[in-house]
Chains A and B, each alone.
Chain A
Amino acid sequence: MILSDLLDARVHDAAGRALGFVVDVRLVLDGPPDGVLAPPRLHGLLVSPRTGTSFLGYERTDENAPAVLARWFRRRHRGTFLVLWDDVAASGTDEGPGVVLRDGYRRWDPALPPHRGA
């Protein structure tokens, strides 16, 4: 699997209801190191009702300037949420079903933890 198989994929819940698109993939460097750093573990998916323009990063960080731009990009990404990888039931690699979440999945606040550690 490669990241672009997941990015922009459609997301459905177990009942087949469309929830949006994968706009980013959250990785966590925990676990035993592979070389200097731990290998990034697939932690969760960020799902937004629309794809595209997720690139500017305003929607998930505390960057606030210039205020007009920050507000605009944030508005475009209202409704974005994080689902943990454990809640993903299936992820088709091709055009097929896209990402399907398991029954009883939970939605979390998409904001990044304020300090990224080091």
Chain B
Amino acid sequence: MSPRLRRGERPFPPDERLPEPPRPAGLVLDARLHLLDRQVVDVRGDPVAIVDDVELEERDGRVVATDLLSGPVLATRVFGGRPPRSRWHRVAWRHVTEVGVVVRLGVRGETLDVLWVERWLREHVVGRVPGGRHDPE
């Protein structure tokens, strides 16, 4: 069971009709519903990472998302806690070109540091086994 308020402690009647909020001018995203845990693909459509978390920052009195995070932050979303800032792998929001069923980037994944494990395995293991760099037949 996930945490919840007990029935008697709920401050408001559950079936109350609430007013419609002021309609904002731009695209509306609910982070969990539309952004978190979605696949990030690069400009060619190759998978880069999953949006494991999002970094927010205060700018001119507004709080905005600056980077998508991936890697060790996943473990802390599962088990709780918070990884040290030095271990966040970031993809800057300015690379994002589209948020739909996937999050699309305008750059090649190769240029991003989130892919270091993939690159390491390619250089040191998979690429060295005969046939590793050939198309399947």
* A and B in contact, CB less than 8 Å: yes
Residues of A within 8 A of B (CB): 1-5, 7-8, 13, 17-21, 23-31, 34-44, 46, 49-55, 57, 60-61, 78-79, 81-82, 84-85, 106-113, 116-118
Residue of B nearest to A40 (CB): B65
Q: How far is the CA of A34 from the CA of B24 in the complex (A)?
A: 18
Number of interface residues of B (CB under 8 A): 53
9 more contacts with CB within 8 A, not counting A28-B25, A37-B97, are A1-B55, A7-B32, A21-B3, A27-B30, A35-B94, A35-B106, A51-B3, A109-B20, A117-B27
Which of A19, A84, A108, A112 touches B28 (beta carbons < 8 Å)? A112
Contact check, A81 vs B18: say whether CB atoms are below 8 A apart: yes
Which residues of chain B from 14 to 44 have any CB-CB distance to chain A below 8 Å in the complex? 14-21, 23-33, 35-36
- In the assembled complex, the CB of A84 is this many whole angstroms from the nearest CB of chain B, namely 7
With a cutoff of 8 Å between Cβ atoms, the chain A residues found around residue B29 in the complex are 26-29, 40, 116
Given A3-B31, A3-B56, A107-B12; A42-B64 close (CB under 8 Å): yes
Interface presence of B2 (CB below 8 A): yes
- CB of A94, distance to nearest CB on chain B (Å): 8
Bound-state CA distance A54–B30 (Å) is: 11
Q: Using Cβ atoms and an 8 Å threshold, which residues of chain A touch B24?
A: 28, 30, 43
Contact A25 B31 (CB under 8 A): yes
Taken together as a complex, chains A and B put the C-alpha atoms of A40 and B29 apart, in Å, by: 8
Considering only residues 71-90 of chain B, those with a C-beta below 8 Å from chain A are: 73, 76-77, 82
